[in-house]
Structure 1
Amino acid sequence: MDTIFALASAQGKAGVAVIRLSGPLAHSAAEGLTGGELPPRGMILRTLRDRDGSRLDDGLVLTFQAPASFTGEDVAELQIHGSTASVNAVLMCLSDTDGLRIAEPGEFTRRALENGKMDLTQVEGLADLIDAETEAQRKQAQTILAGELGALAERWRRDLIRAASLLEAVIDFADEDVPTDVTPEVQQLVTAVMGDLRREADAVKIAERIRTGFEVAIIGLPNAGKSTLLNALAGRDAAITSEYAGTTRDVIEVRMDLSGLPVTLLDTAGLRETEDFVENLGIELARKRAEAADLRVFLADTPGELGVTMQDGDIQVFPKADLRAESEGGISGKTGQGIDTLISQISCALGNRSTSYGIATRERHRVAINKAAEALGQAITVLESGPELYDIAAEELRTAIRALESLVGRIDVENLLDEIFSSFCLGK
């Protein structure tokens, strides 16, 4: 196994920079820089020098002995002053050391996975934590990183192994009288796991939205003030506004943090009948995005005139409240009237939906969970036919177990790893 190294902290000038090494030569390479023996596990202040003995920097050297480290290997971390010159000088010395090479993106975490320090769901949770921009995303990522989905999958797997072993015991002793009918216990175990799986699969969509962001579409007639409203919500000029109808031709997206939830606001083309070919393309795209959005804000006196069906939870506000004699229920991006109320309505609507999210957060999770649930449904159907078909029921249980093992990365995930780890930085 190669020994790898990389800058683990952010690029650029900083108060402290962290350079991480992992592999069989990690400790000896650190000792080569510090000119003295290091403890197998501990922290010590040392002066770092190059091969000629020239001073590079002073820094803290942390050592971790396998397997009690992040990667499960011998690990050393150099905490030095965060100047670009100091970091480059130390990295250059490490590059010139025999047996060391620069780490690939995500390679430290990949080694943690391969050495059993993390499962695949925890790796995904770590990636989500690095990318988290809102409080809801941080909490969700921490739940996955803590191993809760892996622990849940392991409990399901354990119950299914118990159920399969009961069936296989009956199969193995088919010529003998088995004193106990195992069917009730097997059905109880399988039914309980299948119920958990279906609930988790149903909640994936909301969990995934917390991870990637909810979409809220602002729709209305041309010149209803949609772009002005978007700019007011965003606090900047994200969309072009003018008095001419049809100014917005494409869908304009603005990401925001609303009450800790990630939200992407969509400013869409004004919905109307027109002979302008390009504007028609924008209107058709606007309708599609509005229908696919998680929530729609109807900026109109009569929502039905927009040709988009208003769904439960959607919000209607009256446009250009600053020009109305009666302003109740109205909004104005120009004056700010009603903006706070609208933000509160959107936050409340999405917050209520977020209470039902589960632990599984990705489409990959949903596919594996549904595959396991489908196999369990087949197993229950077969069980009702009696002991003669127990071998088929046991095979369905094994299919479900394999699906859960793919969920946590035990099998059938090699094709996913390169894609997952490519999103990590070098030092992670």
Structure 2
Amino acid sequence: MEKQKNTIIAKVTPTGQGSIGVIRISGNKSIDVIKYTLKLNSLEPRYAHYLPFFYKNKIIDKGIALWFPKPNSFTGEDVLELQCHGNSILLDLLINNILNIPGIRMADPGEFSKRAFLNKKFDLTQVEAIADIISANSQAAIFSAMNLMNGKLSLLLTEFTKIIIKLRVKIESFLEFDYKINFTIFCKKILITLEKLIKFLINIIKYVKNGIRIKEGIKITLIGPPNSGKSSLMNLITDKKISIVTDIPGTTRDILHENIYIDSVPIEIIDTAGIRETSNKIEILGIKKTFEEIKNSNYLFLVIEDKMSENNLSKIIKKYLKNFIKNIPIIIIRNKIDLTNNIPTIIYSSNYTIIKISIKKKIGILNLMNFIKKKILNKNTNENQFSARERYLDILNSIYKYLIKGKNNFLNTNSIELLSEDIRLIQKELDSITGKFYSEDLLNNIFSQFCVGK
């Protein structure tokens, strides 16, 4: 807490030469910097002042000074920002001179944002959105990070929390005044609320999963038997000759990655070793890596030859992919329709989608690309989508388990006390997402990933 009382300073702009360099100071000693560096007693708040900057009583530069008295600032503390010419030597001279003022120190990574959170200017998800905006690698990532910053996730969690609180009130009221409440009617109402919470939570989890995909990119893994056309498809989608293409089975033995953008959304395409029975040790290692990639994929493109029978296709899926079907959408790419004289088409079924193409003749490729845009990209992006992190998903999955366990226990035992404890734990988990309940280790882990000036 003593460290929190210090006034902090750091460069906001990156190191290097540029037209502008910005220094930020936050804390009670910011007013002393005005007197020490600007030779003034005060500044008009939220007004751009063009002034000389002093270094040991000598004018070292002229620039813009902005003064934001607490609590109307980014951090909730007194904040002074100095904008001068972007020369690293100049910025360091100014900072080192300001550090001579007692009670001012260099900021830790992310400390400005941490103070904004601790002073309740933002919740934890909104602070994390700032880092997402800075690191965004696509237009979609920027807009989704801004949605997180504007509280899209916070609003969903607030609505979910309201239902949780109402449920807790009902339960506590029953435990306190059970003689006044019809138990049968009460149980029905509780179960209806639990079902509502489960459906609501599933929807939130869907948004979070999509947000992670936008932030980190959508991962599409190409799998299938040797010589089915995986490497050729990789080269076609990425418009690069990345994978070696031959008619020799087992040519691709290592995992090949390539990042592309489609409609401003980052997509990682992975070419893998052909799946088959083999005694070649190197090829076996390649196939093992294939299954490691499958576990981390968002979509699987199973590339096979169009002449393969449905029976053999079912055997491949049952033997190699049965453990992934529930969690990862599988798109069957039936390649080489030029040899079977079939027409390019897309067939939708309850289990998976089948797309018939010829990579060699470039037949049906437009269908494939339109499928990626409409059924994969559009499914994972919309104007309300927000960026998300794995920690949100871990917490929400934990809450889902509590809800399912609480519902099942309540159905089997009608125990109000057990359900009450599960609901209490759910609310505690929810508060850890937004930061109403947090540990110092969690904060240190989050803010250590920020740059020093943020």
TM norm. shorter chain > 0.5: yes
Shift of 1:240: 6.0
- Output the CA distance in 1 between the equivalents of 2:420 and 2:275: 56
1:18 correspondence with 2:22: yes
Stretches of structure 1 that go unaligned for 5 or more consecutive residues are none
Where in structure 2 are the equivalents of 1:40-55 lying within 5 Å?
Answer: 40-53=45-58, 55=59
- Output the CA distance in 1 between the equivalents of 2:238 and 2:380: 22
- Output the CA distance in 1 between the equivalents of 2:287 and 2:397: 36
Stretches of structure 2 that go unaligned for 5 or more consecutive residues are 345-356
- Quote the residue 1:77 is aligned against: 81
Where in structure 2 are the equivalents of 1:83-102 lying within 5 Å?
Answer: 83-102=87-106
The structure-2 alpha-carbon separation of the partners of 1:284 and 1:109, relative to structure 1 and needing over 3 Å to count, comes to: same
The structure-2 alpha-carbon separation of the partners of 1:133 and 1:320, relative to structure 1 and needing over 3 Å to count, comes to: farther
- Output the CA distance in 2 between the equivalents of 1:190 and 1:223: 51
Task: String of CA shifts for 1:259-315, please: whole Å, max 9, x gaps.
Answer: 222211112234455544223311332244247531316264556789853876525
**In 2, are the aligned partners of 1:200 and 1:360 still within 8 Å (CA)?**
no
Aligned-residue RMSD, C-alpha: 3.8
- Residue aligned with 1:101, SS: strand
The structure-2 alpha-carbon separation of the partners of 1:146 and 1:203, relative to structure 1 and needing over 3 Å to count, comes to: closer
**In 2, are the aligned partners of 1:233 and 1:339 still within 8 Å (CA)?**
no
The structure-2 alpha-carbon separation of the partners of 1:389 and 1:277, relative to structure 1 and needing over 3 Å to count, comes to: closer
- Output the CA distance in 2 between the equivalents of 1:191 and 1:255: 40
Shift of 1:408: 1.2
- Output the CA distance in 2 between the equivalents of 1:320 and 1:411: 58
Which is further off, 372-381 or 1-10? Answer: 372-381
Task: String of CA shifts for 1:36-76, please: whole Å, max 9, x gaps.
Answer: 132344321111110232x2211111111111111111111
- Quote the residue 1:9 is aligned against: 13
Which is further off, 235-244 or 341-350? Answer: 235-244
Shift of 1:154: 2.3
- Quote the residue 2:435 is aligned against: 409
Give the counterpart letter for 1:139 in structure 2: F
- Quote the residue 2:349 is aligned against: none
- Quote the residue 2:449 is aligned against: 423
**In 2, are the aligned partners of 1:8 and 1:19 still within 8 Å (CA)?**
yes
- Quote the residue 2:69 is aligned against: 65
Shift of 1:318: 3.6
- Output the CA distance in 2 between the equivalents of 1:238 and 1:201: 35
Shift of 1:12: 1.8
The structure-2 alpha-carbon separation of the partners of 1:421 and 1:192, relative to structure 1 and needing over 3 Å to count, comes to: same
Shift of 1:204: 3.5
Shift of 1:224: 6.6
Matched residues, number: 421
Shift of 1:376: 4.2
- Output the CA distance in 2 between the equivalents of 1:424 and 1:246: 44
- Quote the residue 2:333 is aligned against: 316
**In 2, are the aligned partners of 1:220 and 1:271 still within 8 Å (CA)?**
yes
- Residue aligned with 1:424, SS: coil
The structure-2 alpha-carbon separation of the partners of 1:376 and 1:319, relative to structure 1 and needing over 3 Å to count, comes to: closer
**In 1, are the aligned partners of 2:174 and 2:181 still within 8 Å (CA)?**
no
- Output the CA distance in 2 between the equivalents of 1:248 and 1:273: 15
1:205 correspondence with 2:209: yes
The structure-2 alpha-carbon separation of the partners of 1:238 and 1:115, relative to structure 1 and needing over 3 Å to count, comes to: farther
**In 2, are the aligned partners of 1:71 and 1:117 still within 8 Å (CA)?**
yes
- Output the CA distance in 2 between the equivalents of 1:121 and 1:5: 24
Give the counterpart letter for 1:367 in structure 2: D
Give the TM-score of the pair, scaled to structure 1: 0.82
Counterpart of 1:330 (choices 358, 361, 365) is: 358
Task: String of CA shifts for 1:195-230, please: whole Å, max 9, x gaps.
Answer: 211332355433322221221223456567655654
The structure-2 alpha-carbon separation of the partners of 1:244 and 1:81, relative to structure 1 and needing over 3 Å to count, comes to: farther
- Output the CA distance in 2 between the equivalents of 1:205 and 1:128: 15
Where in structure 2 are the equivalents of 1:160-239 lying within 5 Å?
Answer: 160-173=164-177, 178=180, 183=186, 189-219=193-223, 226-227=230-231, 230-231=234-235, 233-234=237-238, 238=242
Shift of 1:193: 3.0
- Output the CA distance in 2 between the equivalents of 1:240 and 1:11: 41
- Quote the residue 1:155 is aligned against: 159
Counterpart of 2:114 (choices 110, 113, 119) is: 110
Give the counterpart letter for 1:365 in structure 2: Y
Give the counterpart letter for 1:368 in structure 2: I
**In 1, are the aligned partners of 2:133 and 2:141 still within 8 Å (CA)?**
yes
**In 1, are the aligned partners of 2:302 and 2:330 still within 8 Å (CA)?**
no
The structure-2 alpha-carbon separation of the partners of 1:359 and 1:26, relative to structure 1 and needing over 3 Å to count, comes to: same
**In 2, are the aligned partners of 1:379 and 1:396 still within 8 Å (CA)?**
yes
- Quote the residue 1:368 is aligned against: 395
Give the counterpart letter for 1:132 in structure 2: A
The structure-2 alpha-carbon separation of the partners of 1:73 and 1:185, relative to structure 1 and needing over 3 Å to count, comes to: farther
Which is further off, 262-271 or 225-234? Answer: 225-234
Counterpart of 1:137 (choices 138, 141, 153) is: 141
- Output the CA distance in 1 between the equivalents of 2:272 and 2:306: 17
- Output the CA distance in 2 between the equivalents of 1:270 and 1:165: 57
- Output the CA distance in 2 between the equivalents of 1:277 and 1:382: 50
- Output the CA distance in 2 between the equivalents of 1:99 and 1:69: 20
Shift of 1:144: 1.3
Give the counterpart letter for 2:399 in structure 1: A
- Quote the residue 1:354 is aligned against: 380
The structure-2 alpha-carbon separation of the partners of 1:91 and 1:248, relative to structure 1 and needing over 3 Å to count, comes to: farther
1:280 correspondence with 2:297: no
1:296 correspondence with 2:301: yes
Give the counterpart letter for 1:421 in structure 2: F
**In 2, are the aligned partners of 1:298 and 1:315 still within 8 Å (CA)?**
yes
- Residue aligned with 1:314, SS: strand
The structure-2 alpha-carbon separation of the partners of 1:12 and 1:93, relative to structure 1 and needing over 3 Å to count, comes to: same
- Residue aligned with 2:66, SS: strand
The structure-2 alpha-carbon separation of the partners of 1:47 and 1:107, relative to structure 1 and needing over 3 Å to count, comes to: same
Give the TM-score of the pair, scaled to structure 2: 0.78
